[in-house]
Chains A and B, each alone.
Chain A
Amino acid sequence: MADAGGAVPLLRVGGLKRYFDVSAPLLNRVLERQPRLTLRAVDGVDFAIGRGETFSIVGESGCGKSTVARLIVGLYRPTGGSIAFDGVDMARLRTRRELAQVRRRQQMIFQDPYASLNPRWRVRDIIAEPIRAFRLIDGNAAILERVGELLRHVGLAPADGEKYPHEFSGGQRQRISIARALASKPEFLVCDEPTSALDVSVQAQILNLMKDLQREFKLTYLFISHNLAVVYHISDKVAVMYLGRIAEVAPTRTLFSRPRHPYTRMLLDTIPDLDMTGRQRTPVAGEVPNPINPPSGCSFHPRCPFAADRCRAERPEPIPLADGALVACHGVEEGRLPEDVRPLKAVS
């Protein structure tokens, strides 16, 4: 695990939960006798991210990835559980000053570079906003200088600060979002599908930039994506989420070469075969169930080829394995699943 050797991880979440009330309005509920409905978007999630690490969360649409991201940067309040940043429990921070001090060190990059930039602001003001909000630099000239430096870091020119977001392409706008995220000199970046809206050639530019910046500024990333090849490329460690819970967490190469959880195995089967080895993808049956009314026991059991009686009755808890993987599956615990070893190609 990231915190082996006793070092405090940069981020640790424990038993993290976020429920949403999705009931019909009160009047309808009374008139039509509808019950209250709770959607368990995140339902007890534990993980730790070590300093300088890239930790990724993968999973199908609606499994709760973005909700975890939003909880961590404080855009949502947890329904339960804890978030500790650099050893400090976020719930303990009472004063605005204390909170601001931690928030400066964490920033978020969103999927949609179009929606996340204010169209009426010049790029220089968008990037300067965190500098001003956290009062990091005094004086306009010094702020502008810093903005120019940030633009250069992300491969744009200082003169681009005078322009408006619509004058840039999608990839350039994502560079602007990254420059803004870097403005407060954070240590920790939460990146929610930062390249999903981009073309592959532009995605390559952004992923390369993110790796360069990580090295240069010793950044720690929480990276969210549904693209397994991107996750393989960028991550040190990967968590697979299913219906608000973590099915499996493991170091990247372990997860891709020795998937344990049946859902992880299924996800790996969906990776398109660009090598054209003639391997046929085995399409899996069934779709992600409704999180308002999740299946009993292990929520993956309706789609799982290894489901047994216990799986329908009892919810599996994460169990640590010898090679650093953490797997929540009765079948794995009972040792009744066949090994699934997938050779990775030679390091090139």
Chain B
Amino acid sequence: MSAMDHPTVILPRETRPRANQPLLQVENLVVEFPTRRGVLRAIDDVSFHIDPGEVLGVVGESGAGKSLTGASIIGLLEPPGRIAGGRIFLDGSRIDDLPPEKLRRIRGKQIGAIFQDPLTSLNPLYSVGRQLVETITTHLDMNQAEARRRAIDLLAEVGIPAPERRIDHYPHQFSGGMRQRVVIALALCANPRLIIADEPTTALDVSIQAQIIALLKRLCRDHGTAVMLITHDMGVIAETADRVAVMYAGRIAEVGPVRQVIKHALHPYTVGLMGSIPSVGVDRARLAQIDGAMPRLNAIPEGCAFNPRCPKVFDRCRVERPDLIPQGPTAVSCWLYDRKEARRG
């Protein structure tokens, strides 16, 4: 029996139709940590997608679940953390349930990773050239000499001066900003479709930050690479992202085109967040302030997790948890935007 007769039979893995599909699709992701005092749910029903060549910014305060979302996609969730629900598709193929060996191959080849501290991605004992060449030969069909050539080209592309010489240097011989460039080169080795960048500029000086952001943007444009850019910094998002997802207490509060979310935030949390950012040229006696703090995982309130801090809270918010509700190009998890409320109000 040929595969043509029964295509569904020979497709052991769940796949999706290929036309116009997002590069990455995350559906109802749940991440949990079993603890002695019960299960903590750190990511609670998160869904989003990233299109080919698109930069999706992910913002939110410390502990909102940004890094865990990224780690789940690249399969770097550290036990006892585990994906307890949902599905993740890359290019239409499910990747969240792959055996570790297969996932590792995808990680190098199709998904590149950049973390806050470049030293976690670089081995201090090997020259950067050796690390680049090894990654290239693992994922691409190239011999040593070709791989070295490509490594030099990549270093030049990320703006390392004199790459023919620098390729034989060790990580400690580079400054912080240069090391982060090397990590970006490493993430680009195998021409990945998607890069997950978790706070790639947080540890860097402002002048170097601007250089790295400009570099990421250019690479995305030139190679059509999609990026999931995780950061605290709304300014970085404003300049880099096409769309932005705002996370709060393990859920997405609001997701939409970056301009829309920054200039016309809908979710009361996003509104508060935007008002709390000081800005050069804007004279204000006081900054807008969201009182209180984001709840800990073991004390997430009933209903909408933001309700104890929300200036617009009403009865329903304290009992029912809102899911993302589409509002034009944006989607918001807030009962204010539920049609039922609009009719009632």
Contacts and interface: CB of A to CB of B under 8 A. Distances in A.
A276 B233 contact: no
B278 interface: yes
Contacts of A271: 206, 235, 280
Contacts of B214: 281, 283
A72 to B, nearest CB: 24
Contacts of B280: 228-229, 232, 256, 268, 271, 344
A204 interface: yes
B207 A204 contact: no
B37 interface: no
Nearest to A205: B289
A129 B232 CA distance: 35
A202 interface: yes
Interface in B286-329: 286-291, 293
Nearest to B236: A272
B48 to A, nearest CB: 21
Interface string A224-256: 001011101110000000000000000000001
Contact of B281 (A171, A226, A256, A266): A256
Contact of A202 (B207, B210, B282, B293): B293
Nearest to A347: B283
A257 to B, nearest CB: 8
A172 to B, nearest CB: 7
B77 interface: no
A268 to B, nearest CB: 8
Contacts of A60: 205-207
A305 B272 CA distance: 40
Interface string A286-321: 011000000000000000000000000000000000
Nearest to B209: A270
B106 interface: no
B293 A200 contact: no
B156 interface: no
Contacts of A211: 285-286
Interface residues on B, range: 35 or more
Nearest to A253: B283
Interface string A261-277: 00000111111111110
B138 interface: no
Scoring B232, B258, B272, B278 by chain A CB atoms within 10 A of each residue's CB, the highest score goes to B278
A279 to B, nearest CB: 9
Interface string A135-161: 000000000000000000000000000
Given A202-B293, A204-B288, A345 B278 contact: no
A281 B239 contact: yes
A284 B212 CA distance: 11
Nearest to B208: A287
A21 B286 CA distance: 44
A317 to B, nearest CB: 25
B120 interface: no
A201 B284 CA distance: 16
B2 interface: no
Contacts of B279: 229, 232-233, 274-275
B207 to A, nearest CB: 5
A208 B289 contact: yes
Interface in A193-215: 199-205, 207-208, 211
Interface string B247-269: 00000000000110011000000
Scoring B206, B234, B235, B285 by chain A CB atoms within 10 A of each residue's CB, the highest score goes to B206
Contacts of B290: 201, 204-205
A233 B207 contact: no
A273 B205 contact: no
B219 to A, nearest CB: 14
Contact of B235 (A232, A272, A348): A272
A87 B292 CA distance: 42
A200 B207 CA distance: 20
B61 A208 contact: no
Interface string B139-182: 00000000000000000000000000000000000010110000
Contacts of B40: none
A172 B293 contact: yes
B278 A232 contact: yes
Contacts of B273: 200-201
Given A60-B205, A172-B293, A205-B289, A274 B277 contact: yes
Contacts of B62: 170, 199
Given A204-B288, A270-B209, A273-B238, A171 B262 contact: no
Contacts of B239: 272-273, 281
B276 interface: yes
Contacts of A266: 207
B170 to A, nearest CB: 18
Contacts of B282: 345, 348
B211 interface: yes
A288 to B, nearest CB: 7
B118 to A, nearest CB: 14
Contact of A204 (B258, B263, B283, B287): B287
Contacts of A229: 235, 277-280
Interface of B: 61-62, 175, 177-178, 205-211, 213-214, 232-236, 238-239, 258-259, 262-263, 272-273, 275-291, 293
Q: Pick the 7 closest A-B CB pairs, nearest first.
A: A272-B235, A204-B276, A233-B278, A199-B61, A204-B287, A344-B281, A283-B211
Given A201-B276, A204-B290, A272-B239, 17 more contacts: A60-B207, A171-B293, A204-B288, A205-B290, A211-B286, A233-B287, A234-B278, A256-B280, A270-B210, A275-B279, A276-B259, A283-B214, A284-B210, A287-B175, A287-B177, A287-B207, A344-B280
11 contacts: A201-B289, A205-B289, A211-B285, A272-B235, A272-B236, A275-B238, A276-B262, A276-B263, A287-B177, A345-B282, A348-B284
